[in-house]
Structure 1
Amino acid sequence: MKPGSPHGGRPQARAMLDDDINIVQADIDDSWARDAGPCFLINPNGKRAGTRFRFNAWGGKYHPHQGDAAFSGAVCETADVKSFTSNLVAEGGGVSVDGEGTIITTETCFPNINRNPGWTKVAIETELKEMLGGDKVIWLPGNPLEDETDGHVDGIAVFVAPGVVLMESPGAEPSEWNDYIRKNLDAMEGQTDARGRRIRIVTVPEAVEAPSQHPKFCRSYVNSYLVNGGVVMPVYGVASDTVVRSIFRSLFPERRVREVRIDSIAIGGGGIHCITQQEPA
């Protein structure tokens, strides 16, 4: 939370949360913890650490962003973990990992000149593997029309289990946006993960009927969040909610599926995944 915010603060947060939830106050500029926060790591012995990428507000789109740029360090300090600092400008929403050496990212995001001028795609791939403990990077085309994040992968394709990727399916209407969804599906088709397993693709629709005309409105069901014993999925009050709910329940038979109406989050251009960042026990 941002100190001095007229719309919130520690007392308000404390009143809304269970006693076993810790509240940490930090001077942030925006709400997207996924992107400004660290990516947590865990080694075979269970020891934790955090990777801190450079943050420039999605290619210099917002100012100021000094608070967000310092947020990953504050989180690592609070969590009392060692941090590894990268010179790559990157955001947590720009990668999806399976925990077994495979990383998915997009060509429209980190190689973008607004983030990493002078970095080759090979150099970016090498850095991602080094900083996230990966062995293989799968590059998807991304989506240049999604100009808030330049096509973050967490709105396109995410691992829901090793060897299984959840992706958006294109709508029925002909559009350039749907063309890019198809390009990403085509690029994932036939891919194998770091262990050589062929990746299974499960698709869900976008919430195209969500009743918002806001230009940044996030309509992605892919942008969901896994928690201990459960999964939090976004809903929009439309027919596709029911379809996606059934898919989530089949994907996560041993987890409790909980739904959150995200209209007030989605107008900012992101979803549940974007405002969260998991920390391993």
Structure 2
Amino acid sequence: MHRPAEWDRHDEIIMAWPSIENDAYADKGGSRDLADATRDISAIAEAVAEFEQVTLLVTPDRLQEAKKRFKHDAEEILIQPVHDYHKLDLWMRDMAPTFVFDGCHLDGVDYNFNGWGNKFPVNASESLASQVCDNMNLTRVSTWLVTEGGSLETDGEGTLLITDSSIINENRNPGKSQQQIEEELRRTLGITKIIWLRGVKGGDITDGHVDGLARFIAPGKVVISRPNTLDDRKFSKVFKDAHFILSNATDARGRRLEVVEMVEADLYSLGLDRRTLKDIESENEDYPSLSYVNWLLVNGGVIFPQFGDKKADAAALSIIRDLYKDRRVKTVRLDQLPFLGGGIHCSTQEVPA
């Protein structure tokens, strides 16, 4: 097996509109949150479509709405009806297959999505990876391992970044040792070197996915997300530990990693109302995901988040443009996805060419 790097060419990007029946939106702001999440997802899809094909999974209850929304992008954004998935959610990085090559053949690994450790079960989406493989006429690679695509960051040359909190966890792989998990990751992804970062169990719904913490820019080069303030002991410790580990690590080919920092947006610079801020401060609401490293590489481009913090947005944008001088950087303003716990990378899954 071989898991390509994200900077390799793609055939398409898989995305999804959340279903009206999804409990995640009913439990929060209802139709308002659903509409806001749909707006963010649609903006991402339109940005991606400037570079490559998008396949957008849509449940029957929203099919006509989606066709109307993308009537001018029908060639670039293919709307694919999904039946029998009444509670479809938008997080395709975790719910869709993780694509790998077995020789010259493209396969899809089904990592048994279980709602991020049964914290937020989305019953209909638990078998979505298998259905996507069937629809694409691909071999489904089965495994006992429970994990998500957002946990797996590869350089295409045998190196994997992963957080221990999101996989060596009783809510996903009870009774399994680190060695057993490593062996299965090597089998299903074809990697030869695993760099373990320390996440925080329960720190967010994902238990600390790596794609919000550290990403490969190129072989031997990593960008790490730095909290806007280091006053928060929990997240500052995650950053400091990860920075230390990465700065002293070598990849599968023996190269010492170069580490670049990218500072997150400031919660207090987003123009949020006092009630929302108070709910976050009191932990009645989860802290939003304001990490810029949750970008998506597309053919010839980068789809890059902006959050409304003018200073941090501009600084992060300058860094990514400098790092990817050979790619066009397309920004997308995110207003709702960060408050649902994710971003651009979390909501997309590339199909390698």
Compared with structure 1, are the counterparts of its residues 182 and 49 closer, same or farther at alpha carbon in structure 2 (3 Å cutoff)? same
Match of 1:127, SS state, is helix
Match of 1:71, SS state, is helix
Give the number of aligned pairs: 279
Deviation digits for residues 13-54 of structure 1 (CA, Å, limit 9, x no counterpart): 542634133222222532100001111112554x31111111
Moved more, 214-223 or 116-125: 214-223
Give the aligned partner of residue 107 of structure 2: 49
Moved more, 18-27 or 30-39: 18-27
Matches within 5 A, 1:25-64: 25-26=81-82, 27=85, 28-43=87-102, 45=104, 47-63=105-121
% identical equivalent positions: 37
Deviation digits for residues 140-165 of structure 1 (CA, Å, limit 9, x no counterpart): 00133522110000110111211111
CA contact 2:60–2:81 (8 Å) conserved in 1: no
- What amino acid does structure 1 have at the position aligned with 2:313? D
Measured in 2, the distance between the counterparts of 1:106 and 1:16 equals: 41
Measured in 2, the distance between the counterparts of 1:75 and 1:91 equals: 15
Compared with structure 1, are the counterparts of its residues 203 and 59 closer, same or farther at alpha carbon in structure 2 (3 Å cutoff)? same
- What amino acid does structure 2 have at the position aligned with 1:206? E
Q: Does 1:210 align with 2:267?
A: no
- What amino acid does structure 2 have at the position aligned with 1:156? L
- What amino acid does structure 2 have at the position aligned with 1:210? L
Compared with structure 1, are the counterparts of its residues 52 and 16 closer, same or farther at alpha carbon in structure 2 (3 Å cutoff)? farther
Match of 1:91 among 123, 148, 159: 148
Matches within 5 A, 1:190-205: 190-205=248-263
Measured in 1, the distance between the counterparts of 2:94 and 2:248 equals: 29
Report the TM-score when normalising by structure 2: 0.75
Deviation digits for residues 223-268 of structure 1 (CA, Å, limit 9, x no counterpart): 1100000001100121101101111011111100010001122121
Measured in 1, the distance between the counterparts of 2:342 and 2:210 equals: 12
CA contact 1:225–1:272 (8 Å) conserved in 2: yes
Structure 2 gap ranges (5+): 1-16, 20-58
Compare relative contact order (CA 8 Å, sep 6+) and give the higher one, 1 or 2.
2
Measured in 2, the distance between the counterparts of 1:21 and 1:6 equals: 15
Give the aligned partner of residue 244 of structure 2: 186
Moved more, 102-111 or 137-146: 137-146
CA contact 1:50–1:76 (8 Å) conserved in 2: yes
CA contact 2:215–2:224 (8 Å) conserved in 1: yes
Report the TM-score when normalising by structure 1: 0.93
CA contact 1:141–1:187 (8 Å) conserved in 2: no
CA contact 2:216–2:222 (8 Å) conserved in 1: yes
Compared with structure 1, are the counterparts of its residues 106 and 137 closer, same or farther at alpha carbon in structure 2 (3 Å cutoff)? same
Match of 1:278, SS state, is strand
Cα offset, 1:112, TM superposition: 1.1
Give the aligned partner of residue 229 of structure 1: 300
RMSD: 1.9
Measured in 2, the distance between the counterparts of 1:8 and 1:102 equals: 43
Give the aligned partner of residue 278 of structure 1: 350
Measured in 2, the distance between the counterparts of 1:185 and 1:5 equals: 45
CA contact 1:142–1:151 (8 Å) conserved in 2: yes
Match of 1:267, SS state, is helix
Matches within 5 A, 1:1-281: 1=17, 2=19, 3-5=59-61, 9-15=65-71, 17-26=73-82, 27=85, 28-43=87-102, 45=104, 47-63=105-121, 65-144=122-201, 146-176=203-233, 177-208=235-266, 209-212=269-272, 213=277, 215-216=285-286, 217-238=288-309, 239-281=311-353
CA contact 1:142–1:156 (8 Å) conserved in 2: no
Measured in 1, the distance between the counterparts of 2:115 and 2:327 equals: 34
CA contact 2:204–2:341 (8 Å) conserved in 1: no
Compared with structure 1, are the counterparts of its residues 48 and 7 closer, same or farther at alpha carbon in structure 2 (3 Å cutoff)? closer
Moved more, 163-172 or 6-15: 6-15
Measured in 1, the distance between the counterparts of 2:240 and 2:81 equals: 42
Compared with structure 1, are the counterparts of its residues 263 and 256 closer, same or farther at alpha carbon in structure 2 (3 Å cutoff)? same
Structure 1 gap ranges (5+): none
CA contact 2:306–2:313 (8 Å) conserved in 1: yes
Measured in 2, the distance between the counterparts of 1:20 and 1:180 equals: 39
